[in-house]
Structure 1
Amino acid sequence: MPQKPPIGRDTRLCMSLSGRPGNAGSRLHNYLYDALGLDYIYKSFSTRDLPAAVAGIRALDIRGSAISMPFKEAVIPLIDALEPSALAIDSVNTIVNDDGHLTGYNTDYTACRQLIEASPADPAKPFLLRGSGGMAKAVVAALRDAGFTQGTIAARNPEAGPALAERYGFAWAAELPAQGAPLLVNVTPLGMEGPDAEALAFPEAMIAAAEVAFDVVAQPAQTPFIQAAIGAGKPVFSGAEVIVLQAVEQFALYTGVRPSAELVIEAARFAHGDATAARLAAATMKG
């Protein structure tokens, strides 16, 4: 195993910006740096001054930054260029700094499509998705590109909800409809650690009637929605899996190194636990 150099003046810093920063991303990236002997370090941050934070990425030559809720759209005017994955859905979850030139990417899309295609969800059947923010754009695009043609986006935002639905050819509802769908997808903070931790994204009866549950919330991996779905015997996939798969893409962008699937599973186990690592194996090693 290569030996990681001690932290010094040549050590590259990578980071994340989130409204509610956690430890899982730092644990995963730093585990991979250590395992591969790379002279990098990763730290999570929050901010009340997004323009100043992005200026700091540029001024301090920070190699890259993950971007999480609620900054994925607001960060766009503050950077220099958008890679096609971010441009297509107007949402950035990754910034790469090349000598002061900041480029935005969206690795959420890639991760979501991998998980959707590896899941038992049937694209011939409809989905019901709750939410319309930056992450919702990545998930809806991934659903469309995975072959889904029927779906409803439930979102209270009277501008973002209809616009997202129209853009990808799906229906919109301001409130959750009475009728659920075989695939339920939560792309809101409901169930996330903090003030919404006890909230259930969908009614229990709707969960019981569904076939597959997908929650993009990563902390905790088992939200009330996911716990209810597991209790009802439904296949689930979670934000913890999304965050691992998209983080691997970020890692490759920052370092130029792509870790093996086996090493990714080790890092996922370290950062998120054995259950997530086992499910991740099915997605990363598919085919």
Structure 2
Amino acid sequence: MPITASKETLLCMSLAGRPGNFGVRFHNHLYAQLGLNFYYKAFSPTDLPAAIAGMRSLGIRGCGVSMPFKEACIALVDEMAACAAAIESINTIVNTEGHLKAYNTDYIAVAQLVDTHAIERTRFALRGSGGMAKAVAFALRDAGFTDGLIVARNEAAGRALARSAGFQWQAQLGAERPRLLVNVTPLGMIGAQADELAFDKAAIEAADTVFDVVASPARTPFIAHADACGKRLMTGDQVAAIQALEQFILYTGVTPTDEQYQAAATFARGEARPDL
């Protein structure tokens, strides 16, 4: 049942360069289903340190962190959970009486998806080198992938990620034809790059499995072409839903039933525009 806002209402928020509606709809739908006196709002901060200081001083309970703030927030929190500290990237902050602890539920979501889809531990190429790319690369490494290629035009960031995760780096995919392709860039996302393929058609057609972390739209040009070729698919809206559930549990201490979770995810996808 819907909750009437009051002075006891606990606020949660998200910070993103390009805020979306997925988290807003997902969290608020679950609050209503479970009768929790919480409210969730998305923001695009112009002053990140001030936004995090505001979270602390105003008692905002939880904060989702999206591109491009996943690494910049690290210096602003008090404690890092192991999953965030290991990869030096955060996407979730929990405020407990002014103490800010950071987590990475993206890592958890990717690990769950890889396990659920029973992906063969084969050679992969991952395009991207930012905070979300870190979560994906480390989740793959920890799932048993040993033969990986980080494809990133930013040589410093690409080499650093490859080195820390134990993979290789190249600026371009070139003639490589890995059996698993992973996109962790804005290519294909709603906006200026919406029509761009994350990998060329020849590479997609040679792969067995494709994974696009872009959640809006879930059916990017990369996913659409792979689907037409009969490839196994993992999509960004799946990642968004799993990581949002983990955030919800951290913020509220409540674990929804699978039916409640699925209902919230379905509702959120009806107008989903989450960022990476």
Shared fold by TM > 0.5? yes
Report TM bin, short chain. over 0.9
1:119-156: CA deviation from partner (whole Å, max 9, x where unpaired): 24211x10011001001111011111111111111011
Are residues 234 and 120 of structure 1, via their aligned partners in 2, closer, same or farther at CA, if it must alter by over 3 Å?
Answer: farther
1:78 to 67, 76, 101: 76
State the partner residue of 1:283. none
Structure 1 counterpart of 2:84, one-letter code: A
Shift of 1:168: 1.7
Secondary structure in structure 2 of the residue aligned to 1:159: helix
Secondary structure in structure 2 of the residue aligned to 1:52: helix
Q: Unmatched 5+ residue regions in structure 2?
A: 271-276
Preserved CA contact (<8 Å) 1:120 1:212? no
Structure 1 counterpart of 2:76, one-letter code: L
State the partner residue of 1:143. 140
State the partner residue of 2:37. 39
Q: How many residues align?
A: 270
* TM-score, structure 2 as length reference: 0.95
Shift of 1:198: 1.2
Runs of 4+ in 1 over 6 A off after TM superposition: none
Secondary structure in structure 1 of the residue aligned to 2:155: coil
- Greater relative contact order (Cα 8 A, min sep 6): structure 1 or 2? 2
1:170-217: CA deviation from partner (whole Å, max 9, x where unpaired): 111012222221110001111111111111100011111111110111
The alignment status of 1:126 with 2:123, answered yes or no, reads: yes
State the partner residue of 1:95. 93
Structure 2 counterpart of 1:211, one-letter code: D
1:160-239 superposed matches below 5 A: 160-239=157-236
**CA distance in structure 2 between the aligned counterparts of 1:37 and 1:168, rounded to whole angstroms:** 42
Preserved CA contact (<8 Å) 1:121 1:211? no
Shift of 1:48: 2.0
RMSD of aligned alpha carbons:
1.1
- After superposing the two structures, state which structure 1 stretch, 125-134 or 111-120, moved more: 111-120
* TM-score, structure 1 as length reference: 0.92
Identity %: 57
1:259 to 253, 256, 261: 256
State the partner residue of 1:23. 21
State the partner residue of 2:273. none
Structure 2 counterpart of 1:132, one-letter code: S
The alignment status of 1:243 with 2:236, answered yes or no, reads: no
State the partner residue of 2:110. 112
Shift of 1:232: 1.1
